[in-house]
Each structure stands twice: as C-alpha cells, then as structure tokens.
Amino acid sequence: MRLFVIAIIILLLSDMSLHLLSPRLIYSLRGLETPESCSQKCTEYRNWLTGVPAITKQIKYWQSLSEEFKYDKLFDGSLISPRLVNEPDTFFYKPGEVNFTLKNQDGDAIHSAKFHINSDGWRATPEQPPHPKRSVIFFGSSPLFGYGVNDNETLPAYFSQFNKDTEAFNVSRLNAGPNDFLYYFRDLKLLSPPKAQSKEISVVYIYNKTHPGRAFLSSSFANIPSPTDSLNKPYYELKDGHMVLKDTFYDHFVRRLLLTPFTYFAYAQVLDNEWPLNMRIYDKEFSVFFKDLKEYFEAFYTDAKVKFYFVPYPYRTHTPSCDLLQLLNQHGVATLNFGDTLLDDVLPDGAGLIPVVVHPTPIANMVAAKMISDSMQKEVEQLNTGCRP
C-alpha cells in the first residue's frame, strides 16, 4: 500500500512539473528552427513597405502610442469599449456599428476605431467587387476580426485591396477556436458561411497560439463576459477519425478539476497567454478539427471548387509545431506558415501591435495580407517555414 501511495505521488508530481516548466525555457534549450531565407523575405517585404504611401506616418503613430503605454503602469484595461455580443449567446453579433476606444489613465481617448457588423452577423469588408472571379472566406478569432482597427484596416480588407477581382469575407469571432465554428456551423446549424458569388473559393483559417487552449482547456475563461459562457462552450473528442461533440467544458473540465488540482496548472498557463507544454499532446486531435471543417466547407459549397488553408498569423509566437503542420498536410489541408519572427523583422518595434490590447495594427494586417496573397497567387500549397520542433 505504501509503495502504491508513493507511486501515485511521484506520478502527480511529474505531471505537475510538466505544467510548471516554462515552455519558453524548454524551447530555448532545444533551440528554435530559424525561418529559411528569412533575410531575403524580410528584405523583400521591407522594400515593399517603403513603397507604400503614408506608411511612415502610420509607423510613427503606432510607435508613439506604444511608447506612451510603455511606462504607464496605471492604465486600466477595463476602459476599452464593450463587446459586440448579442446576449445570451456570445457567439452571435448584432448588426450595426460599434465604437472601439482606447483610453489613457486620465480617461482620455487616444485611439478609436469603428466596427461594422453586416446583416449576416459578420464583420463588414468594404469595397467588394460586384462580379468577383474568386471568393476568399477568412475565418478565425480576434486578430482576424481586427480588434482595434477600422473595417478597411483588417486582414481581409487589405487582401481584397491586393486582389481587386476577389471578394473577401471576415468570418470571425472574438475568443473563438475551431471547436466553436464546428459547433455552430456543422453540429447546431445555427450559423452558415457567407454566400459566395464565384465558383472558385478559398477558405483560410487564421490561427494563433491560443486556439489549442480554447479547443481543449477553454482558455477563453478570462476573456468573455462571464465564466458561465466559457463553461458552456462545446467540448469535442476524437472518435472514428472525426471530432465529435461530447459535452460542455463544465462536464469535462470542472469535474476533472475536482478530481485533481494539478489540471489547474495547465489551465493557468493558457490564461497567462503561454504556449503550454502539454498542448503538444493535442496536435493529433487539433488537426482533425480542420479536417472536419475542410469537409464541412466542401459540402456547403458543393457546386464550387474549394481550397482550404491553415495560416498562422505571422507575428510573434503564433507558429505551431512541425508535427501539427505535417498532420494537417496529411489531411489535405494546405498550410502557409511564415515563421514566428518574419513580421518582427519587417516592422520596427512598436509598429506591429496595438498597445494594451495586443492585437495587430493596420500595418501588420497589411503585411500579413500581402504575404498570404503572394503565396496564394503563386499557388503555394505547403509552406512550413520555422515551425516549432
């Protein structure tokens, strides 16, 4: 009996140590792969940026805003304007206009933007062609939505500007993950993708590092109006080659938390916006979400030629593991991964992220849209540069 108890304690402690070890420390010890030909690509996009009118003024604006908050420790993040949600379900947005305001510690507005939600409940993308030759449906979470930028400064809006014959849709939700889209599209059938005018359709999922946590640890807990919303989020399990709706996070996670407190350490890392070490164990399941979403979109746009892409937002630590990208390729999902340092190298410090809310600036969206557009025009199917080993 004593040996059994000791064995259990060792098992629990080893599990806890996995969660407590800093992923950044682990990856720095193992060594990250550096993006291939990054210097050439970085130079290429730097040269392109210098030719864009008024870009220097924008860079200086975001750098000055970043500097203002760099030493302002008294800023209250709650001063950011309220969300767009249509209660009681936070996945449904009300059509209309919502103002975004960033305020300083004195309550003065120092940056503002307007969000417009169209009649279908998705963020509006202005200046769409009346008779497009191609349709691109972007879907994802807040970086794609453009939290903090105007309608014409989102990634889909810039993509549309670079491709005048293409209509681009912004199918996004704040704090969403692939489980949310599978839930509302395929399983509940409460939402549908937009109606595309062309018969050539590209579906582009914009990934960031929080999505595995949202799919398996409900990491939106700290970011949405109430804990109840998070605990009611859908939880999926892999069964017979597909992600199957199992229950809610209340059923799966809370009961598990009651059984072992060490689950909390994994959860806490996600809330701290880390890349939890244990998220790698979900690569297989996570990849199947996109296999299922690919099949869903192909069935929905049954009369069209559909190409499905998985694209990590090319900024900071959003690069996924090499294993995940390989699994996606095996599922027939095209991957465009530009590495996690490319935008850092292209844009000067302070110009890529909106301060405090830590979301992409218009310039970052412009560069990301250009990267994606260039690769799709060259019909690049797999680009797995600098993935995490």
- Which H or E element spans position 56? helix 55-70
Question: Which domains are assigned to the chain?
Answer: 34-384 (3.40.50.1110)
The predicted model gives 305-331 an average pLDDT of 91
The owner of tokens 């959860």 is: 267
Q: What is the pLDDT of residue 81?
A: 53
Instruction: Please give the DSSP secondary-structure letter assigned to residue 321.
Output: B
Cis peptide before 88 (omega within 30 of 0): yes
The set of residues, in sequence order, having a beta carbon less than 8 Å from that of 39 and lying 6+ positions away, is: none
Q: Which of 35-49, 276-290, 356-370 has the highest mean pLDDT?
A: 356-370
Q: What is the pLDDT of residue 26?
A: 29
The owner of tokens 């760099």 is: 70
Question: How many Å apart are CA 337 and CA 382, to the nearest integer?
Answer: 8
Count the neighbouring beta carbons within 10 Å of the beta carbon of residue 188. 12
Question: How many Å apart are CA 19 and CA 7, to the nearest integer?
Answer: 19
The set of residues, in sequence order, having a beta carbon less than 8 Å from that of 44 and lying 6+ positions away, is: none
Q: What is the pLDDT of residue 259?
A: 56
Judged against a pLDDT cut of 50, whether residue 145 lies above it is answered with yes
Judged against a pLDDT cut of 60, whether residue 15 lies above it is answered with no
More confident residue, 24 or 99: 99
Question: Which pTM value belongs to this model?
Answer: 0.84
The predicted model gives 257-271 an average pLDDT of 53
Judged against a pLDDT cut of 90, whether residue 302 lies above it is answered with yes
Q: What is the pLDDT of residue 224?
A: 41
Instruction: Give the tens place of pLDDT for each residue, 176-234.
Output: 899 999 999 999 999 999 999 999 999 999 998 888 878 876 544 444 444 445 567 78
C-alpha radius of gyration, the chain, whole number? 21
Judged against a pLDDT cut of 80, whether residue 346 lies above it is answered with yes
Among candidates 153, 118, 158, 123, which has minimal Cα distance to 140?
Answer: 123
Distances 338 to 327, 342, 371, 389 between C-alpha atoms, Å: 17, 7, 8, 15
Judged against a pLDDT cut of 60, whether residue 276 lies above it is answered with no
Q: How confident is the model at residue 331 (pLDDT cuts 50, 70, 90)?
A: very high
